[in-house]
């Protein structure tokens, strides 16, 4: 809409209109575009005297582009030279000037001249604020977003909403805490505020020791070290330090932190005694029932029977277990032929391990996710256990199996399946070659060994999120681990000094007093080029280990000695033993032999074409062996 406003109407002497002395005038046409002025004014100033000036505010419509017209007449006492200026301000007449235009006009004595004043500014987002980008003179720091302007409310959203230059004037700032040890938790006494964390701060406070990254809230009391690791005001509360306890051998003591801080153990000053019972009923005790501080039923502390095998005594009943139970020089008479029966469970062309957990019950594992359970005539292939499984141990109470992979991953599952979540161990990527476990008070403790010498421990229980941990790392490529309790744990492998052909066999024993794995002395030293591949603990006094080149070691009363190698010195891969006369070994050279050592002589109770890799059993009446080409054989009723 065009307006014709008379800014000054001045009467000049001699003019017919009241007060007019002439009719000369200036018509001022003001144009503005791409913005709507908050205040639009026209100012006329006498060039001869700058103190003579008049300003008029023009009405502005709700349009981004428009033009206005005003008429200017001379005023008494003014010269004829006028400076006409149009000015636009942002938002209001007190806002910043965002556009102006000036012309100097000579006022005619009659008629009219035209002054064109063009005002240019940009308000592209239409929020009433002109862009602040040069050459604009407004205050809008983002003229493409109508929600961003000096009149907006500042919030913590990563945007300078009110164009103040930052977000420090937001209505609600957050608290952040200085994190000196960079563990993700800060010192609550050192507070900083802002929309985002300043350098060196974090959102979580409560760190009670900001100089130690191992100490902070949000974690379990993972180490038994006398420190309040989780900043809850208590130290080592998860380990029950100082409470009365009983060791695995029944010795009364108190719980104390282990030397390496990885946990607590029961420490007792009592020295356990080895106890013996009369297993063969001849009135003399000769069978060890192990070390204990508590006297077992019908046990004595003195061994006075040289051959106290419960299944071997004169006049006893012959049991089908490959032993001479009645001491008449014959084995398993009356049992009939009990051959090694071959099974074809399918599911894999190469079984890496076999884990027996009951009569007629075993697990088989292999590469490519192969996990199979055999229970009598029933074969169950458990799906969903993705991995190259190299080792297995089955819980005797219910058959739950624990698995170790070539990629350093652990898992567990059951015959019913439905679970097989891979559990990685921080820093472990090498193959898990051996597993063994123990059940106690609802907790299953699993030990595992790797090719990089790691010893892993997993305290597993139902509905628990406990994770495996590295409890030790020894200088050896470990191939197997076994034991009947933590007091009898042994691990075997080899230490490779100079590459192929220089491997030296190694054996390690878990020392419960120190929590460390101690290297044991073997008859064969560096330079043999042989690995120990399998180990089996018979009891607290007796254990066997086998390896490359027909190596067979017996550990008796804490000392290792080498026994007679089989003919041909085949590579021995796995071992299960029940006493000095019942040592069964899987041998891998050429065909897949299953060998037996009776303390003096090697025999071959089963010769299977495909190579056997693993052997296991719960007693001499229940033996299984498995290997390549899906081979599975069993000896048992």
Whole-number CA gyration radius for the chain: 47
Q: For residue 188, what are the CA distances in angstroms to 176, 180, 202, 209, 210?
A: 9, 12, 10, 11, 10
Last residue in a domain, options 86, 120, 154 = 120
Of 278-292, 566-580, 600-614, give the range with the top mean pLDDT: 566-580
Model confidence over 588-632: pLDDT tens digits? Answer: 765 667 899 988 999 888 776 667 889 999 888 889 999 888 888
Model confidence over 202-261: pLDDT tens digits? Answer: 888 888 888 888 788 878 777 788 887 888 878 777 788 888 999 888 899 999 888 887
Last residue in a domain, options 120, 146, 169 = 120
Reported as a pLDDT band with limits 50, 70 and 90, residue 154 is confident
Reported in sequence order, the residue ranges of 315-453 that DSSP labels E, i.e. its strands, are: 341-343, 351-358, 361-366, 370-375, 378-381, 389-394, 401-405, 409-413, 423-424, 432-440, 443-450
Alpha-carbon dihedral sign for residues 242, 243, 246, 248: negative
The answer on pLDDT for 544 being more than 80 is yes
Reported as a pLDDT band with limits 50, 70 and 90, residue 18 is very low
> Given this model, what pLDDT does residue 76 score?
86
Domain for residue 8, yes or no?
yes
Please give the tally of structural domains in the chain: 2
Structural domain harbouring 524:
474-637
- Do residues 277 and 298 touch, judged by C-beta distance below 8 A? yes
Residue located via tokens 């891979």? 422
Which residue would you say has higher pLDDT here, 533 or 7?
Answer: 533
Domain for residue 49, yes or no?
yes
What's the rounded mean pLDDT across residues 144-165? 88
Domain for residue 242, yes or no?
no
Domain for residue 249, yes or no?
no
The answer on pLDDT for 404 being more than 90 is yes
Model confidence over 180-197: pLDDT tens digits? Answer: 888 889 888 888 887 888
Which residue would you say has higher pLDDT here, 337 or 438?
Answer: 438
> Given this model, what pLDDT does residue 475 score?
93
Give me the CATH number covering residue 104: 2.60.40
Domain for residue 222, yes or no?
no
Q: Which of 220, 221, 222, 218 is nearest to 203 (CA)?
A: 218
The answer on pLDDT for 478 being more than 90 is yes
Chain-centre distance of CA 591, in angstroms?
Answer: 43
> Given this model, what pLDDT does residue 4 score?
34
CA distance 103 to 44: 10
- Do residues 176 and 202 touch, judged by C-beta distance below 8 A? yes
Phi, then psi, of 204 in degrees rounded to 5: -95, 130
- Do residues 385 and 368 touch, judged by C-beta distance below 8 A? no
Give me the CATH number covering residue 587: 2.130.10.10
Last residue in a domain, options 120, 141, 162 = 120
Which residue would you say has higher pLDDT here, 452 or 581?
Answer: 452
Q: For residue 471, what are the CA distances in angstroms to 263, 446, 594?
A: 10, 12, 35
> Given this model, what pLDDT does residue 441 score?
86
Q: Which of 365, 382, 468 is nearest to 417 (CA)?
A: 382
The answer on pLDDT for 477 being more than 90 is yes
What's the rounded mean pLDDT across residues 83-112? 92
Domain for residue 597, yes or no?
yes
What residues contact residue 299 under an 8 Å CB cut-off, 6+ apart?
275, 276, 277, 285, 289
Domain for residue 190, yes or no?
no
Domain for residue 136, yes or no?
no
Q: For residue 464, what are the CA distances in angstroms to 411, 438, 444, 520?
A: 14, 17, 11, 35
Reported as a pLDDT band with limits 50, 70 and 90, residue 176 is confident
């Amino acid at each position: 809409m065009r307006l014709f406003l008379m800014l000054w109407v001045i009467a000049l002497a001699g003019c017919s209109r009241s007060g007019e002395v002439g009719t000369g005038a200036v018509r001022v046409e003001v144009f503005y575009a791409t913005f709507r002025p908050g205040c639009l004014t026209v100012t006329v100033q006498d060039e001869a005297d700058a103190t003579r000036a008049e300003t008029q505010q023009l009405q502005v419509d709700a349009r981004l582009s428009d033009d206005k017209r005003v008429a200017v007449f001379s005023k008494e006492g003014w010269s004829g030279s006028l400076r006409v200026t149009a000015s636009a301000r942002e938002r209001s007449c007190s806002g910043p000037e965002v556009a102006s235009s000036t012309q100097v006009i000579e006022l005619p004595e009659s008629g009219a001249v035209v002054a064109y004043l063009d005002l240019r500014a940009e308000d592209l987002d239409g929020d009433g604020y002109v862009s602040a980008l040069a050459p604009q003179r407004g205050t809008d720091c983002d003229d493409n977003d109508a929600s961003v302007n000096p009149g907006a409310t500042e919030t913590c959203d990563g945007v300078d909403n009110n164009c103040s230059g930052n977000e420090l004037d937001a209505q609600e700032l957050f608290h952040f805490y200085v994190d000196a040890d960079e563990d993700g938790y800060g010192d609550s006494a050192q507070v900083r505020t802002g929309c985002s964390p300043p350098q060196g701060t974090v959102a979580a406070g409560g760190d009670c020791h900001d100089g130690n990254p191992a100490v902070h809230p949000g974690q379990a009391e993972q180490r038994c070290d006398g420190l309040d690791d989780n900043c809850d005001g208590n130290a080592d509360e998860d380990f029950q330090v100082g409470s009365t306890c009983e060791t695995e051998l029944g010795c009364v003591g108190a719980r104390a932190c282990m030397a390496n801080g990885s946990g607590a153990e029961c420490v007792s000053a009592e020295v356990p005694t080895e106890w013996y019972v009369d297993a063969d009923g001849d009135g003399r005790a000769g069978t060890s029932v192990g070390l204990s501080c508590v006297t077992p039923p019908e046990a004595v502390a003195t061994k006075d029977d040289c051959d106290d095998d419960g299944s071997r005594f004169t006049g006893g009943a012959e049991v089908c277990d490959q032993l001479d139970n009645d001491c008449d020089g014959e084995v398993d008479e009356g049992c009939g032929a009990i051959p090694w029966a071959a099974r074809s469970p399918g599911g894999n062309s190469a079984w890496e391990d076999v884990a027996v957990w009951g009569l007629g019950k075993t697990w088989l594992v292999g590469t490519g996710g192969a996990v199979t359970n055999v229970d009598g005539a029933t074969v169950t292939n458990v799906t969903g256990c993705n991995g190259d499984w190299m080792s297995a141990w089955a819980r005797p109470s219910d058959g739950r199996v624990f698995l170790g992979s070539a990629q350093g991953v652990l898992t567990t599952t059951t015959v019913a399946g439905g679970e097989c979540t891979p559990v990685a161990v921080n820093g472990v990527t090498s193959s898990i070659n051996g597993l063994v476990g123990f059940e106690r008070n609802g907790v299953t403790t699993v030990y595992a060994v790797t090719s990089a010498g790691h010893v892993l421990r997993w305290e597993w229980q139902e509905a628990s999120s406990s994770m495996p941990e590295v409890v030790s790392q020894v200088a050896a490529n470990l191939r197997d681990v076994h034991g009947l309790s933590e007091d009898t744990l042994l691990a075997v492998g080899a230490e490779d000094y100079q590459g192929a052909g220089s491997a030296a066999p190694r054996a390690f024993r878990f020392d419960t007093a120190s929590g460390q794995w101690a290297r044991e002395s073997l008859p064969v030293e560096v330079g043999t080029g042989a690995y120990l591949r399998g180990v089996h603990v018979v009891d607290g006094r007796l254990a066997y280990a086998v390896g490359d080149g027909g190596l067979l070691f017996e550990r008796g009363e804490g000392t290792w000695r080498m026994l007679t190698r089989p003919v041909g010195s085949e590579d021995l891969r796995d071992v299960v033993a029940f006493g000095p006369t019942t040592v069964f070994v899987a041998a891998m050279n050429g065909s897949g032999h299953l060998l037996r050592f009776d303390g003096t002589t090697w025999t071959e109770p089963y010769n299977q074409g495909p190579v056997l890799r693993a052997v296991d059993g719960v007693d001499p009446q229940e033996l299984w062996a498995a290997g390549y080409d899906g081979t599975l054989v069993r000896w048992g009723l």
